[in-house]
Structure 1
Amino acid sequence: MFLQVYVLFAMVAVGLGSTVPSYNTPAPSYSAPAPRYSAPAPSGPAQYNFNYAVKDDYSGNDYNHQENRSGYDTQGAYYVLLPDGRVQRVAYTVNGDSGYVAEVTYEGEAQYPAYQPTPSRSYQSAPTPSYKPSPSYT
């Protein structure tokens, strides 16, 4: 008896399986096309001149940089105001395969004043209320 019920359920399952729709859709493809760009062809050795400077009295930032390049010959210099009050100056050259050759000098004497915290400019204490609340009894 048990075997007959099992065979009956198996036949019903096979019969129902043929009426279930099939979802045989192809898997989505996520391949992107190859980028179509190329770097510009060099037209010869690099040649440029640049410089910039920043001086902000509020923050204390003070620095400058300038550089000249003609082919494989590069010369430049920069300076920066250090936190200890000195100025660090760097003059450098790069000539072909000689590498980066720098001359570093310092101006002034290091200062280490005692730390004195200053209040944040963004902090403001809460104002005192101008009213005096009275208790209410209900």
Structure 2
Amino acid sequence: MIAKVAGLLAFVAVAAAGVVPAGVAYSPYAAAPLAYAQPALAKVAAPLAYAAPVAKAVVAAEPFDPNPQYSYGYSVADGLTGDSKTATESRSGDVVQGQYSLVEPDGAVRTVTYTADPVNGFNAVVDRSAPAVVKAAVPAVAKVAAPVAYAQPALSGLAYHG
């Protein structure tokens, strides 16, 4: 398709520029040709319409569980990075209950307890416990004597001649 468009654009550019017959010198002062016969374009038949085959998909019905149930939980306690979190969740039918907690960057522990059911929707209660205060030892500052003051030497024998 790109080749067809490029060929058409090249053809239009040649037609717009004008064609000088062979053996005739071009001069900006020479008269333009009186008539120009465009070469005949070959007619190309349009492509035939193509209908894609219709695929008949057979979908097997998934089994339906009228009372889905599950329960899971996990926890992470990484002493190297300080990452600490837990999560638990359980489902019985359309009722889901769960809780997760994590340690925030300031050391506080955030705990979220949630429930979800068709009657009340999703409800969550967020609890945040204050971070444990750890008093860090302040390093002792060594006293350093101030540097001794000194006078800049006087410059003598220099004169400005401007």
CA contact (8 A) 2:102 2:111 kept: yes
Partner of 2:105: 83
Correspondence for 1:57 among 72, 75, 79: 79
Normalised by the size of structure 2, how large is the TM-score?
A: 0.45
- Kindly provide the CA deviation profile for residues 24-55 of structure 1, in whole angstroms up to 9, marking residues without a partner as x: 44367788957654662422132111112222
**1:101 aligned partner, one-letter code:** N
Normalised by the size of structure 1, how large is the TM-score?
A: 0.52
Unpaired stretches in structure 1, ≥5 consecutive residues:
1-5, 112-138
- Structure showing greater Rg: 2
- Kindly provide the CA deviation profile for residues 71-129 of structure 1, in whole angstroms up to 9, marking residues without a partner as x: 12221111011111011112222233212222222223377xxxxxxxxxxxxxxxxxx
Tell me the distance in 2 between the aligned counterparts of 1:34 and 1:109: 62
Task: Write the mapping of 1:1-138 to structure 2, written as runs, cut at 5 A.
Answer: 22=44, 24-26=46-48, 37=59, 40-109=62-131
Partner of 1:117: none
CA contact (8 A) 2:109 2:131 kept: no
Tell me the distance in 2 between the aligned counterparts of 1:110 and 1:34: 65
4+ runs deviating over 3 angstroms: 20-39
**1:50 aligned partner, one-letter code:** Y
Tell me the distance in 1 between the aligned counterparts of 2:73 and 2:80: 23
Unpaired stretches in structure 2, ≥5 consecutive residues:
1-34, 134-162
CA contact (8 A) 1:69 1:75 kept: yes
Tell me the distance in 1 between the aligned counterparts of 2:93 and 2:120: 14
Identical pairs, percent: 27
May I ask how many residue pairs the two structures share in their alignment? 102
**2:74 aligned partner, one-letter code:** Y
Q: 1:28 to 1:53 in 2, by over 3 A?
A: farther
1:77 match: secondary structure? strand
Q: Which has the higher contact order (CA 8 A, sep 6+)?
A: 1
More strand by share: 1
